[in-house]
Amino acid sequence: MGTLLKKIHSAVTGDGKYKKYYPLYEMIDTFMLTPSETSSGAPHVRDAIDLKRVMITVVFALIPCFYMAMWNTGYQANTALSALGLEAGTGWRWSVMKLLGLAANPENFGANVILGALYFFPIYIVCNIVGGFWETLFAVVRKHEINEGFLVTGSLIPLILPPNIPLWQVALATSFGVVIGKEIFGGTGKNILNPALLARAFLFFAYPAHISGNAAWVAVDGYSGATPLALASGGGITAVMAKYSWWDCFIGTIPGSIGETSTLACLIGAVVLIITGIASWRIMISILAGASVVAIVFNTIGSATNPMMTISPLWHLVMGGLAFGMVYMATDPVSSSMTPKGQYYYGALIGIMIILIRTVNPAYPEGVMLAILFGNVFAPIIDHFVMRGNIKRRKVRSV
């Protein structure tokens, strides 16, 4: 590979015949080999972190969610088939399972992981191929290097989708999230909205039948598996506890989006991101605080007609995508507030909006996606007023 890259180097650099394809060449070269260019003087690097290491660290922090994406998807499907009295499902995935001699058994760890992987990886592959295509196309047109930003977007989008989402919808949503959410603003580091959440929002409003409702969250045709939030919106905490324990929700053995059901997996990722300094702990803490305060207020007020008011902060944390959004989505360093003080306001705004949407709007029990996109829009305004406040205080001190 190194020899081949050296041979075509002159053709894609300088005035070479294929110089417009340099971004694609540079991406392959720096991915496969260590760059040979060195600085003759002081590079003035402030720390050892760079964009590529940031993206790889975030993907590494997502590994617990990848595991749950595969195991829990398979577990939910096998549990549903067992409840229906079936030993196998239909479709090409079950043809593969039969070749491996695996039946629908939720107690079989390997059967759960393999079946889940057969749902997860096609979505993951389509998402990355389509997203990579758009990243490469825009890089070639703009004549700049291909950034590693899509490593994270391409990992997040599959985790926030239902397991049985049609692959053509995955391609459409990925295209919308990358092109409309990022590339039209200039690419990596310039987007004002989280591209992964924008992709999910596109699906939610364009194809609601495939991303909402009970049947969407368990990969078995004809089986309705209500998520805890769906149960809560209909019957409050009593309805949730009749089917799932708090521990079930915390571990993630519940129906839901492929990789966001496990609060435990998200918290493990949070530890990695906070220790490495990639994600802001201020945002995470303030989201928890804002959500908890509003939930407690609703618990105190109570309602005879709104069962969502019975949900405590601890239950809100383990249901839906609150933990996943708090750790991986809201902390996006590009679309979130950048000032330390502003991050508190930004996180609190998102936490408050999550509970308001979940509780006040009975037609939409999940509020994480819309709350974070709402926070993204207000992040620049929050930072603006925080910086103006800092300037005023400095002027007073200087007098």
pLDDT digits (tens, 9 = 90+) for 308-352: 999 999 999 999 999 999 999 999 988 999 999 999 999 999 999
CA angle, residues 71, 177, 212, in degrees to nearest 5: 55
Give the burial class of 19: count Cβ atoms within 10 A of its Cβ; 0-12 exposed, 13-18 middle, 19 or more buried.
middle
Task: Name residue, tokens 């105190």.
Answer: 300
Highest mean pLDDT among 50-54, 183-187, 218-222: 183-187
Does residue 94 surpass a pLDDT of 50? yes
Give the burial class of 274: count Cβ atoms within 10 A of its Cβ; 0-12 exposed, 13-18 middle, 19 or more buried.
middle
Does residue 127 surpass a pLDDT of 90? yes
Does residue 362 surpass a pLDDT of 80? no
Given pLDDT bands bounded at 50, 70 and 90, which one contains residue 88? confident
Q: Any idea where the domains of the chain sit in the sequence?
A: 1-32, 51-225, 274-399
Section 257-273 average pLDDT: 95
Residue 37: what pLDDT? 59
> Looking at per-residue confidence, does 71 or 89 come out higher?
71
Listed range (2-6, 76-80, 187-191, 237-241) with the worst mean pLDDT = 2-6
Does residue 45 surpass a pLDDT of 80? no
Task: Name residue, tokens 């809201």.
Answer: 330
Residue 14: what pLDDT? 72
Q: Please count the other Cβ atoms lying within 10 Å of the Cβ belonging to residue 166.
A: 12
Output the CA–CA distances (angstroms, integers) from residue 134 to 129, 147, 152, 180, in the order listed. Answer: 9, 12, 15, 11
Does residue 175 surpass a pLDDT of 70? yes
Q: Please count the other Cβ atoms lying within 10 Å of the Cβ belonging to residue 206.
A: 13
Given pLDDT bands bounded at 50, 70 and 90, which one contains residue 44? very low
Q: Does the pTM of the predicted model rise above 0.75?
A: yes
Mean of per-residue pLDDT scores for the chain: 87
Section 216-243 average pLDDT: 85
Output the CA–CA distances (angstroms, integers) from residue 103 to 68, 75, 96, in the order listed. Answer: 20, 12, 11
> Looking at per-residue confidence, does 365 or 285 come out higher?
285
Given pLDDT bands bounded at 50, 70 and 90, which one contains residue 214? low
